[in-house]
Amino acid sequence: MICPSCNHDNPPESKFYLDCGAAISLECGACGSGLPPNSRFCNSCGAPVAVQAPPVSPERTPVPAPSQPSSFAGGRYQVQRFLGEGGKKMVYLAHDTTLDREVAFALIKTEGLDDTSRTRIQREA
């Protein structure tokens, strides 16, 4: 199922569009009946279905990228783009030059961490 907003192809069982995060909810434009994904015609009135993605909610709006570093770990990880940010990490799509593959690189925010948190993060890493 192709999202009309982001043009990303999604599996038929998807409840959300994978790339933009919009909920997939099909509704007949003629009679308002709810429709299952991949419906081409309304099962209540027979009208053809035009799939339209609902608007992306404000909490799903993409986060603007902070000033982006070009690499990490002495050049091993070449940054391609910013993926997102949470409370504790900033995540980048990077190319691992040693393994020659794309990886997600999480940069941990260290501001305000106590010793216990630092120890936990080092153990996790």
pLDDT in tens, 44-89: 888 776 644 444 455 555 555 557 788 888 889 999 988 888 877 8
Judge whether 65 lies within some domain: no
Say what the pLDDT of residue 54 is. Answer: 46
- What residues does 93 pair with on adjacent strands? 81, 104
What number is the average pLDDT over the span 13-17? 67
Same domain, 52 and 83: no
Same domain, 53 and 85: no
Judge whether 7 lies within some domain: yes
Number of domains in the chain: 2
C-alpha angle 107/64/75, rounded to 5°?
A: 35
Please state the pTM of the whole predicted model.
0.43
The pLDDT mean for the chain works out to 75
H-run or E-run covering 100: none
Judge whether 64 lies within some domain: no
Judge whether 50 lies within some domain: yes
Tell me the pLDDT band of 115, cut-offs 50, 70 and 90.
Answer: confident
Q: What are phi and psi of 38, to 5 degrees?
A: 70, 10
Judge whether 21 lies within some domain: yes
Judge whether 9 lies within some domain: yes
Domain span holding position 90: 71-124
Segment among 10-14, 36-40, 62-66, 96-100 with least mean pLDDT: 62-66
Residue in the structure block whose two tokens are 């305000």: 112
Spatial CA neighbour of 29 closest among 56, 8, 9, 51: 51
Same domain, 3 and 46: yes
Tell me the pLDDT band of 24, cut-offs 50, 70 and 90.
Answer: low
Q: Beta strands 71-72 and 34-35: pairing type?
A: unpaired
The better pLDDT of the pair 17, 87 is held by 87
